[in-house]
Structure formats: structure tokens, C-alpha cells
Amino acid sequence: MIARPAFNPAEPFDAVANLAKREVAHAGVLITQRPEYKAAEADDVDVGEAVMAGALTAVCGIVMSHFKESDEAHAAILAAMADYLPQAIDQARSILGLPPLPEAK
């Protein structure tokens, strides 16, 4: 992962990242309003895990659509996603008013 400067909404990378974050978050809200979600929730299904599994698959597909179809490209995407994940968790926690997770020991 490339170290990025502070968020700048006028910078194209940041603008697209912010757009994706907002649109995916909106999709998350819409998912919770669907009958399938409500039925699963009523059946005590772990809807959080189910949403995470589906959302991660969708994000992988979206990202993969921007690269050639090769094992090497897909392995590079996996590595980049693993690099970005701690930052994404901390940004999501920040949105919820929580501090970054402490460093793992």
C-alpha cells in the first residue's frame, strides 16, 4: 500500500475512494431494508457475517474488473486488500467515533 497524504477531496484518488465508500455504505443501508435480510435476522442468522461475505465478494469483483484476468493480477489485488484492511477498519471506526484499534502484540 502506498502511504497517502491526508485526505483531500479535490485529489482524484481521494474523490473516487470517497465516492466508493459512500455508495457502498448506501448499499449496506438498502440491504438491511430487504425482506431477505429481515427474514434471516428473524431466524437468528448472523446477518453481519453474511453481509460481510457478500460485500467482500462484490468488492473483489469490482476491483478485479479493472485489471486483466490473471492469477498474478488477482494475487496482487489480494495483497493490496490485505495491506489496506487495517486502515479501512480504523477509518470505519473513526466514522463511528471510535479510536484506531491498538497495535496487535
Q: What is the pTM of this model?
A: 0.81
For 14, counting Cβ atoms within 10 Å of its Cβ (0-12 exposed, 13-18 middle, 19+ buried), the class is middle
Look at the chain and count its residues. Answer: 105
The pLDDT tens digits along the chain (105 residues) read 567 788 899 999 999 999 999 999 999 999 999 999 999 999 999 999 999 999 999 999 999 999 888 999 999 999 999 999 998 999 899 999 999 998 765
All three cell numbers of 4, joined, read 497517502
CA end-to-end span of the chain, whole Å? 21
All three cell numbers of 55, joined, read 460485500
